[in-house]
Structure 1
């Protein structure tokens, strides 16, 4: 379920080094923040690694000074830029491999995941029916004030769910069970993610709406406007769109999408209350609603299409990814909702505006059905919390696979871009034993896969202006473990060969 992916490690995954490393490093496809770093020793004991430096997308970790020979597992858990936790491990051996120690697997904690999903639904309900409903009562449908008790309940539900979701986010970030919800470290971890800022701003919006919900004066109207703006802005501070580019376009698109949903969906319960009471005020409110909502629907549809295009990218991803499947399910429910909206507008609204007997009550019942469909959409959309968008998957797939190979006379930092089977580019930085840049006369890459019966493929590299040797147009026909050799012609009389294995994924 990773939203950021590991692109390289030192020592490389599966590497055998002669001496204990002084520094361990992990490189990722996007900036991350470390949560838990553990080194599992050959005897099965675990050491927590607390000394590290974060340099852009690379995490440099100070290794313990008393590492023994054998196989070690570096287990890591970080939070990606969009606020979602990512976990994994790499293996390296000192001297020679030993039986690998067991690292805890990344099993799905269904109680935590279910609680996160339910909290997200309640948070949406509070935002759209609570904050959005209060805005509707104060600005669009004053006659719907009879629904204020329901609106206050939605606000309390949303505020409670938002606060609890911070702790649940911390559990998910640390991989802790639901029983640890009261631990202070769990809440600190949740607050440290980008979702923590969403919780802070959204909680402010809920509290403002709750405190001013009984005020029908100008201050109450102004507070409802601030609450709906702050609540919508909060949703743009974390999540998939927070790390998508260009953010100057994506974050406003999320804001427009959320604020228009809040105005539209939040108006439904107050409008149903007003219609049940009837009268001129209800008909006037229906007229205002009928004029405003088409504009809101058009804006949220345009913003939603933009977000979908950026996140999904290809039609194939709609079917082949979990994110695309959720989008299809949400779209199907939206189609049903839009059809009902059209029916309400052309079948029920005109008679209700004319005051025909029973028409207002029929429209109110139809609005209640719309509300139920909206709740179903919230439930479907809440599952996006657990599905990386195709955009993120494509970025991860395009990241290079890298290895470090060294010998007595030279070493090389080699990258295969993109890090998957198919057409790739091979690149290498050649270094002297003292880590200074070496400029050899010639560099040749050699790839072969004996298990698959593939003989050596040789590609001569070209030195670029940035000091990197590159060979383009190389095709890795299948995924799997490949042998990669670099032939470095240091002089007319000296050839250094560096060789290691590299895992090429699909």
Structure 2
């Protein structure tokens, strides 16, 4: 019976330990943060200036530097620069000056979700008469300068590629390579370069996170406060842990064959480097967290073994072919790696299914969201690599064992292709996926937005008439209100008479905002404005003077959804 590799027990012990830690340390959490509502609401009109701006999120959020900024129509900042949250970490607020003059204002906000991803947005409100405010002059400040998001994605790719290649390369040296002395140095050099790439990606992740999360772009690189905030964030902590773990891994790999503790040290460093990915990203908050953390760790570890093994195996085959070595030795190594790769593919698949379920949950989420299509593309590339690996094991490895030099050349080429597809294609898609809104979150937002349909109903108006009322889009902010007068049979009535609308929201103590709609034809009137500025059940009183002596009236309750989510929420005073 073949004895297990002497370092194998250390690897199993480390993996079991981390698996147990993820299970017992997990705590409840949520997904991307979503703005539930705000005070002021988007488009709200005030007779008197508010004293603060308050945002309500669906989960606790972390405020980056300057999370809430308020600007006037000239682009001048008017808030008190005291933004933050108190005891309730799902609320952000900032104070406004007591002498805020009449005019239009824009609120620009940023927050960090529990899964470490930044979210942002903006909305407007008006103090005084909205008719004298030029809405075109109320614009949010520029967002993060273009290119920084792409730079962050490139940095994530470098981090993933370097870290996974370093860990997988160490596993190859420990468990697959036959310890040929002439190959030890070039293989160790590859692992060293991979460690350098993973470390570089981790280092640049910190200033890039500051640039993107703050919205300051390149200015963040020169701002000590923003950089310090990035270092102390979950992303910064994850990067620092990865740097330390990669250093330990490199020390262990350098000592292989020299000191007895080198193998366990390399395994510990590898587990730490892979574990650092748990503390930033979608899976940090996905439920059930114990299952998702364990799936994420095993999925990443198996991918590392697969990628690192392919790269180093390709190098070994190239070196031996160039040196004119025996094909059988290379084939035996391919067979050993194929066994390990088959197990890795199984773990990658099982872990990927668990992670995909956590982020998607439905078939429509897979085929109807950007996240789902990116995941399908990633699965397609992985399937292609698996098929190529199966071809190697089924046909090329036996041919190489029989001494076929042409088969050796083809095997070397296909192994390189496998490694390139994973390194470039799969990891590039992964770098984009981790910063894409998960399908489950996107669907929830889409469903909420779809729920905010325009209001259109017909109601009795006196003993002889009906009125068809349309409110579009029936979302807090600017709306178009259309009134059409009908007879008892539902046919339009041609009357050129005046009408009046009165808007009330009893729950917010807003009473009888009176407006005269413009005639839109005989028996039809239209009005556009920001009176419905708060989500809630608005009462719209319709008054029509049908002749010189008779005014008929009806009151209609219209549900107005929140501008941020499309859902009708209680207004927060």
Q: What is the CA-CA distance between 1:255 and the residue it aligns to?
A: 0.8
After superposition, the C-alpha distances for 1:216-243 in whole angstroms (9 at most, x for unaligned) are 1332211221122112211121111112
Structure richer in strand, relative to its length? 1
Q: What is the CA-CA distance between 1:165 and the residue it aligns to?
A: 1.5
CA distance in structure 2 between the partners assigned to 1:38 and 1:89 by the alignment:
9
Aligned to 2:71: 40
Q: What is the CA-CA distance between 1:281 and the residue it aligns to?
A: 6.1
CA distance in structure 2 between the partners assigned to 1:87 and 1:220 by the alignment:
46
After superposition, the C-alpha distances for 1:434-463 in whole angstroms (9 at most, x for unaligned) are xxxxxxxxxxxxx962736599xxxxxxxx
Q: TM-score if structure 2 supplies the norm length?
A: 0.68
After superposition, the C-alpha distances for 1:30-89 in whole angstroms (9 at most, x for unaligned) are 322122221113554204522432413222333333322332222111122222221112
Determine if contact 1:256/1:303 at 8 Å carries over to the other structure.
yes
Determine if contact 2:210/2:220 at 8 Å carries over to the other structure.
no
TM-aligned CA distance change 1:107 to 1:153, over 3 Å: same
Alignment equivalent of 1:149, drawn from 177, 181, 189? 189
Aligned to 1:14: 43
Q: What is the CA-CA distance between 1:311 and the residue it aligns to?
A: 1.3
Aligned to 2:442: 393
* Rg comparison, structure with higher value: 2
Aligned to 2:6: none
After superposition, the C-alpha distances for 1:461-492 in whole angstroms (9 at most, x for unaligned) are xxxxxxxxxxxxxxxxxxx99965467xxxxx
CA distance in structure 2 between the partners assigned to 1:184 and 1:353 by the alignment:
60
Matches within 5 A, 1:130-279: 130-141=166-177, 142-143=179-180, 145=184, 146-178=186-218, 180-216=220-256, 217-275=259-317, 276-277=319-320, 278=325
Matches within 5 A, 1:25-424: 25-35=54-64, 36=66, 37-47=68-78, 49-54=81-86, 55-97=88-130, 98-100=133-135, 102-105=138-141, 107=143, 109-141=145-177, 142-143=179-180, 145=184, 146-178=186-218, 180-216=220-256, 217-275=259-317, 276-277=319-320, 278=325, 282-353=330-401, 356-357=404-405, 359-375=407-423, 376-397=425-446, 420-421=452-453
TM-aligned CA distance change 1:182 to 1:22, over 3 Å: closer
Q: What is the CA-CA distance between 1:344 and the residue it aligns to?
A: 0.9
- Structure 1 regions of 5+ residues with no counterpart? 402-417, 424-446, 456-479, 488-495
Q: What is the CA-CA distance between 1:107 and the residue it aligns to?
A: 4.7
TM-aligned CA distance change 1:321 to 1:136, over 3 Å: same
Determine if contact 2:45/2:531 at 8 Å carries over to the other structure.
no
Q: What is the CA-CA distance between 1:285 and the residue it aligns to?
A: 3.5
After superposition, the C-alpha distances for 1:309-337 in whole angstroms (9 at most, x for unaligned) are 22123333334322122112212211211
CA distance in structure 1 between the partners assigned to 2:356 and 2:142 by the alignment:
29
**Which structure has more RCO (C-alpha within 8 Å, separation ≥ 6)?**
2
Q: What is the CA-CA distance between 1:386 and the residue it aligns to?
A: 3.9
What RMSD in Å do the two structures reach over aligned CA positions? 3.4
CA distance in structure 1 between the partners assigned to 2:117 and 2:245 by the alignment:
23
CA distance in structure 2 between the partners assigned to 1:204 and 1:47 by the alignment:
44
Matches within 5 A, 1:478-489: 485=537
TM-aligned CA distance change 1:358 to 1:131, over 3 Å: same
Aligned pairs, number: 435
Q: What is the CA-CA distance between 1:392 and the residue it aligns to?
A: 1.5
Q: TM-score if structure 1 supplies the norm length?
A: 0.76
